[in-house]
């Protein structure tokens, strides 16, 4: 199974396409993905091409991943964010409840955005 994210270089996308024997349409689709960091936070998602070589049928398609605000909060990893988050969560008896509570101020897409079409 392969997950292919947006590519900024057409040469890289074509190299991946050749290596995985993807159609030119699949390579064009990979090139059309917008990088998450270039999207407004309330609409942000990551598009990926999914390739699975099943014994009976090869599967190739696009997956849309919309991260929850809780994941965005918990996954932030620069030193300043890590230290601040550690202090914030230290005041909670249940770290999961802390993550849920503290993440509410983060701008993130609504869950319903996960099923919106990409194109």
Beta strands in 17-112 (DSSP E): 46-53, 58-65
Greater confidence (118 vs 16) lies with: 16
Other CB atoms closer than 10 Å to residue 53's CB: what's the count? 12
Instruction: State the Cα–Cα distance between residues 77 and 72, nearest whole angstrom.
Output: 10
Helix, strand, or coil (residue 6): coil
pLDDT tens for 63-96 read 999 989 999 899 888 778 888 898 999 999 999 9
Map out the domains of the chain as residue ranges: 2-65, 69-112
Band of pLDDT at residue 13, cut at 50, 70 and 90: very high
pLDDT score of 45: 93
């Amino acid at each position: 199974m392969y997950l292919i994210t947006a590519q900024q270089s057409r040469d890289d996308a074509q190299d991946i396409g050749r290596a995985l024997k993807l159609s030119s349409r699949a390579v064009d689709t990979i090139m059309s993905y917008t990088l998450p960091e270039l999207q407004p936070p309330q609409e942000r998602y990551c598009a990926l091409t999914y390739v699975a070589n099943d014994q009976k049928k090869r599967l190739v398609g696009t997956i849309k991943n919309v991260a929850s605000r809780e994941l965005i909060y918990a996954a932030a990893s620069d030193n300043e964010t890590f230290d601040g988050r550690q202090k914030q969560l230290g005041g909670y008896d249940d770290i999961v409840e802390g993550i849920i509570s503290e993440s509410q101020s983060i701008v993130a897409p609504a869950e319903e955005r996960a099923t919106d079409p990409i194109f």
